[in-house]
Chains A and B, each alone.
Chain A
Amino acid sequence: MSEQSLLEVQGLKMYFDVSPPLVTRLLNRMPRQVLKAVDGLSFSIERGKTFSLVGESGCGKSTVARAVAGLYKATDGNIIIDGQDLANANGKSKITDISRRMQMIFQSPYASLDPRWRVRDIIAEPIRAFDLANDKRDERRQVEQLLVQVGLSESDGEKYPHEFSGGQRQRISIARALSSKPEFLICDEPTSALDVSVQAQILNLMTELQDELGLTYLFISHDLAVIDHISDWIGVMYLGRVCEITPKAELFSNPRHPYTKLLLETIPDLRGGSHRKPLEGEVPNPITPPSGCTFHPRCPFANERCTREQPVLKEYGPAKVACHAVDEERI
C-alpha cells in the first residue's frame, strides 16, 4: 500500500443471493441464484483527492459505495482505511473510530433526512453518537458553525426538512456528514436529483470543503461532465468490475478501453450540436453474465479469446486497463 492512500480496496466481491424461495426452488428443481454485483474490484484513493466511479446503471457503483461505507459485509476482499482493515477491525472503539472518520452522502436529499426531526437534531446526531461535544452549548455551537459552513443560516437549525428546497436539503445532508469531522466522504450521486443551477452550488461547496478540510472523496456519478469537473482519478465500471482506472485528463484525451471509448461517445454535446452515438445493446443480466470479458457481446474489438478469458487490469502509462485488445496492441 502506498504511503499516501487513505483508502485501499483489494479484490472486493459483493454477491447477493437472489434465489427464489426454497419451496419454489425445490419444486422446480432450480439452482441457487447468485448476483455478482461487484466481482473482484481493486482501487485506491490518495489522501485529499477525489476518486470517481462511473458506469451504466446497474454496474455496481452504489454497491461498492455501500460496501466501503460498511453498510454491506463484503463477500470477499479487503477494504483498508488508513492502514486499518475494515473486516479485521476488532474492538468497539476501533470500529467507532473508523465509522466516525468516514461518512456517506446519498443521491436523494429527501429520503435521507428524517422528516420528524429538526435540522439541528439531524446534524447533531453524529456529534452525539460519537460523543464529540463537551456539553449542550458546545454541541449547539458546532451545529451552527456547520450550518454556516454549508451556506445555510444559524436559524435554519430550528426548521424541519420539508421547509427546504432540494438543494438546501442536500446542504443539510452534507452538514450532517461533516459533523463527525470525517476525513473521507462517500458521495453516491449527490447532485443527480438536483437542477443544474443547484448542482453547481453543491459541487462548489464540495470543492471548497475539500480545500478547507483536506477531505478525501469517493464520488459516484453517471454524468461524465460532473465526473470531469470533480475528479482526480476515475474508475470506469462495467458489470461489477473495473475496466479502466486513469487520471482524469487521460480518460477524456486518451481513453483506452473499448467500453470507455463508447461511453465517451454517449455524452450529449451541449455546444457542438447533436452527434452522439447511442450505445447499442444493454447491460447484460448480472445473474448470468457473458463468459470471458463480460463486455464482449457489445464490443467491436471482441475476438475468440475475449469470449473465453477474462482480462485482468494491467498498467499502461499512468492508466490501468483490463482488455485483451489493448494488451495485444490491436487497438
Chain B
Amino acid sequence: MAVLDISNLCIEFPTRRGVLSAVEDLTLSIEAGEILGIVGESGAGKSLTGNAIVGLLEPPGHVTEGVILLNGRDITHLPESEMRKIRGAQIGVIFQDPLTSLDPLYTIGQQLTQTILTHKKMSNAQAKAWAIELLNEVGIPAPERRFDAFPHEFSGGMRQRVVIALALCCDPCLIIADEPTTALDVSVQAQIIALLKRLSREKGVATMLVTHDMGVIAEAADRVAVIYSGRLAEIGDVRSVIDAPKHPYTKGLMDSIPQIGQNLKILPNIVGAMPRLDARPDGCAFNPRCSKAKFICHQQAAPLIEAGSVGQRAACWVYEGGEKYV
C-alpha cells in the first residue's frame, strides 16, 4: 500500500469573478522510501497540492473532489483538530523559509522538546536526549551546545536543518518539503538534499519534494510529476522523464535549461507563457504554445496516457492509440 495515495484531486477558489479551478483531476501516489518530485512553473499548483494534503489550504480555497489517503486512511476532509495531530506525528512539513516554521522567541531546544512532548509519551530528559539525537542526525555540529541557541543565531542552512529535525520529531511516514532548498546556497542545498535522501533510504520515509528546480529533482527524486496549469502533464521515473520526456511541455522545459559545455548561442525555449487560471484555454492548457496541437487538443484535455518507459505517462493526445513520433 502506498503511504500517500491521491486520486482525482480538485481544488477550487470561489472568487467574485467566478470559480477558479486551481488543481484539476490530480492523481498520484508515493511509496515508503520513495521521493516523488513535483515540478512546474510558478503558479502551476504545486504548493496548493502540498497544502491540501496537510489541511493547510487557505480559505476560500478548498478541495471539491477527490480522495487523499494516508496509509489507506481517508484524510481528505478531516477537521482541523484531527489534522493537527497528523501534521505533528505522521506528516512532517518543511517550507521554503525556515523562519516560518521556527518561533524566534524560543530556543531550538525548547521548540524541539515541546513538539516531541506533544506527540510522544516521554519524560523531559528523554525528550531532550531525542532532540539532541535528531540535531545530530540532521548534521548540526555539537548539538548539546547548540541546544539552547535561538533561531537567529543559526545560518540559513543550519536553520533549515533544524526545521527538518522538527519535522522528524515523531518519526513521520511522509514528509512534504515545499521548496526546501530554494532560499539556500547551492552548496548548502546539496547538503540538505543528501539529508532528505538519507532519510528516505534509511528510515523509509515517503517524501514529496516540491520544487521548480530540475537540478534538485534530478538529484533527489525517484519519480517526478510535472504539473502545468493545475494539471498533471507527465509522471514517471525520474531518468525517463528527464532523459526522454514525452509531454511537449516537459520536452520544451528540459531543452530550455542551459547546460555546461553546451555552447549554444540561443537557448531553445517555449514561446509564450503559462496561462493564468482565469484565462486557461479550452482543452489542453498547453495548446496555445504547442506545435503538435491538433483539433481535439482545443476541445478536450487529454487523460494520462502510457508513453515511453514503464510507468511513464503523459497527458497528451499524441500518445492516444500507441506512441507516435513527437
- Contact present for A278 and B267 (CB under 8 Å): no
**CB proximity of A161 to chain B, nearest CB, Å:** 15
Contact with B along A190-218 (1 / 0, CB 8 A): 00000111111101100110000000000
**CB proximity of B200 to chain A, nearest CB, Å:** 13
Contact with A along B261-285 (1 / 0, CB 8 A): 1101111111001000000000000
- Contact present for A199 and B256 (CB under 8 Å): yes
- Contact present for A197 and B252 (CB under 8 Å): yes
Residues of B within 8 A of A252 (CB): 260-261
- Contact present for B190 and A229 (CB under 8 Å): no
B215 at the interface (CB under 8 A from A): yes
- Contact present for B239 and A273 (CB under 8 Å): yes
The closest CB in chain B to the CB of A298 belongs to B187
- Contact present for B219 and A274 (CB under 8 Å): yes
**CB proximity of A230 to chain B, nearest CB, Å:** 8
Beta-carbon contacts under 8 Å, A161-195 to B: 165-168, 195
**CB proximity of A282 to chain B, nearest CB, Å:** 6
Chain A contributes a number of interface residues (CB within 8 A of B) equal to: 39
- Contact present for B242 and A229 (CB under 8 Å): no
Residues of B within 8 A of A201 (CB): 269
Q: Which of B187, B239, B243, B258 contacts A203 (CB 8 A)?
A: B258
A87 at the interface (CB under 8 A from B): no
B122 at the interface (CB under 8 A from A): no
- Contact present for A200 and B256 (CB under 8 Å): yes
The closest CB in chain B to the CB of A204 belongs to B266
- Contact present for B273 and A229 (CB under 8 Å): no
Inter-chain CB contacts under 8 Å: number: 109
Complex-state Cα separation, A266 to B191, whole angstroms: 10
- Contact present for A267 and B260 (CB under 8 Å): yes
Contact with B along A142-170 (1 / 0, CB 8 A): 00000000000000000000000111100
Residues of A within 8 A of B124 (CB): none
Complex-state Cα separation, A318 to B190, whole angstroms: 31
B257 at the interface (CB under 8 A from A): yes
A56 at the interface (CB under 8 A from B): yes
Residues of A within 8 A of B266 (CB): 204, 207-208
If A228-B258, A268-B219, A270-B214 touch, whether A278 touches B187 (CB-CB below 8 Å) is yes
Task: Pick the interface stretch among A30-38, A219-227, A286-294, A300-308.
Answer: A219-227
The closest CB in chain B to the CB of A201 belongs to B269
If A268-B216, A274-B219, A278-B194 touch, whether A228 touches B252 (CB-CB below 8 Å) is no
Residues of A within 8 A of B215 (CB): 267-270
A279 at the interface (CB under 8 A from B): yes
- Contact present for B259 and A225 (CB under 8 Å): yes
Complex-state Cα separation, A271 to B252, whole angstroms: 15
**CB proximity of B217 to chain A, nearest CB, Å:** 9
Q: Which of A197, A228, A271, A276 contacts B256 (CB 8 A)?
A: A197
Residues of B within 8 A of A198 (CB): 41, 273
Interface centre among A165, A167, A204, A229 (most CB of B within 10 A): A229
Given contacts A197-B256, A279-B187, A283-B185, 18 further A-B contacts (CB under 8 A): A196-B41, A197-B269, A197-B270, A200-B257, A203-B258, A204-B269, A226-B258, A252-B261, A263-B187, A266-B186, A270-B215, A270-B259, A271-B218, A276-B190, A278-B187, A278-B190, A278-B194, A279-B186
Q: List 7 A-B contacts (CB under 8 A).
A: A56-B185, A196-B253, A197-B270, A269-B219, A270-B257, A270-B259, A271-B259
| Complex A-B, nearest 7 residue pairs according to Cβ-Cβ distance, in ascending order | A268-B215, A279-B187, A200-B256, A200-B269, A195-B41, A278-B190, A229-B258
Residues of A near any B CB (own CB < 8 A): 56-57, 165-168, 195-201, 203-204, 207-208, 222, 224-226, 228-229, 252, 263, 266-271, 273-274, 276-279, 282-283
